Homo-oligomer: A and B are copies of this chain.
Amino acid sequence: MSTPDPTGLAPGAVLGILGGGQLARMMALAAADLGVRAHIFAPEPDSPAFDVAARHTIGDYEDEAALARFADAVDVVTYEFENVPAATAAFLAARTPLHPGARALGLTQDRLNEKTFVAGLGLAVAPFRAVDSLADLEAAVGALGRPSILKTRRFGYDGKGQVKIAAETELSEAYEAIGHFPAILEGFVPFSREVSVVAARGIDGAFAAFDLCENEHRDHILAFTRVPARVSAPAALAAGEAARKIGAALGYVGVFAVEMFVVGESTDETVIVNEIAPRVHNSGHWTSEGAQTSQFHQHVRAVCGFPLGSAARRGRIEMENLIGDAGLRWRDLLAEPGAHLHLYGKRDARPGRKMGHVTRISPEAG
């Protein structure tokens, strides 16, 4: 068993990763590059990350015997998804270093707590109200108006667990639609763009942010990321500072993403924090070729206590997600000059499933 608070591991260490999808897979590949061995823990027998890991455990996140063996076999634990059960995180953290820590996980699992935390740092967020009943919802819509968005506090991703409150929406139906779960109503933000900061914080408090990403979603799933984002320099600076503040307040260790909305125009342009993802992030996939250090290498460096690498960008970037059947374009993409293809080794190309991505880099405009 490892010491609970490492000041730094060395190559040869074993990195435990909860989750076996493409993020875990790309973390394991980066770990290998640094001589760090990956041990994946995931419930699905055909997890894509298993194929590139030194070791894997097929187990449920509630299986304490399996978790205990896993904790004993690794030097540090991280994860690829923010919905790691709190009990699982606590169980592991008692046995081995867990990065990012339980506080970051707990906060980001609950939209209400997250928004309250971010607002408490003096950062702009959309107006919001807690909703625990239909009466709460009626009052909240009264206060924030329409359109607005009703979201479950927990376990939402890629547009799941949320419903738009439009002019004609029946509130009882909307509340029904999200399953009467504890929820939050968020006021409408008339944003011009969606952007994200992908950044890392080291065990020593060092901070390194990649350049601001501009994200285009389709059907609530990230379709394209372009870097640099087309925002004013002051707004981009404010975005980076918001991420730095959030990372420091959480005592965060590892890579994280802060999704933001760009609002206002010209000299009034600014950012509003929407959501924190305590993990490597789809909008940072371009860093594999587009930055001096990829987000995956950076995350491994951070959670192992290694020095952070440079986040410097090279060129203008477009990252395109390959969703569902888009992966079938692989041969054309391999033949496309300048395109960098990454496939995740998933067997079935289900609709909406992320099968891979492609990154295109063009020279910086003179």
Contacts and interface: CB of A to CB of B under 8 A. Distances in A.
Interface string A335-366: 10110011111010000000010000000000
A32 B29 contact: yes
A314 B25 CA distance: 27
Given A25-B32, A35-B344, A307-B335, A54 B54 contact: no
A328 B156 CA distance: 44
A188 interface: no
Given A29-B32, A54-B50, A345-B35, A334 B310 contact: no
A84 B342 CA distance: 31
A93 to B, nearest CB: 26
Contacts of A292: 338
A356 B36 CA distance: 13
Which among A33, A306, A341, A344 has the highest number of chain B CB atoms within 10 Å? A33
Contact of A331 (B12, B54, B306, B356): B306
A344 B12 CA distance: 10
A330 interface: yes
A35 B10 CA distance: 29
Contacts of A301: 334
For chain A, what secondary structure do more than half of its interface residues adopt (helix, strand, loop), or is it mixed? mixed
A58 interface: no
Contact of A343 (B35, B330, B347, B356): B35
Nearest to A301: B334
A85 interface: no
A32 B345 contact: yes
A35 B331 contact: no
Interface in A304-337: 306-307, 309-310, 314, 327, 330-331, 334-335, 337
B34 A51 contact: no
Nearest to A304: B334
A345 B52 CA distance: 14
Contacts of A234: none
Interface of A: 10-12, 25, 28-29, 32-35, 37-38, 50-54, 292, 301, 306-307, 309-310, 314, 327, 330-331, 334-335, 337-338, 341-345, 347, 356
A231 B11 CA distance: 38
A9 to B, nearest CB: 11
Contact of A33 (B35, B335, B343): B343
A314 B54 CA distance: 32
Contacts of A38: 51
Contact of A51 (B37, B330, B345): B37
B34 A343 contact: yes
A12 to B, nearest CB: 7
A347 to B, nearest CB: 7
9 contacts: A10-B330, A11-B327, A11-B345, A29-B33, A34-B341, A35-B343, A306-B331, A310-B337, A314-B314
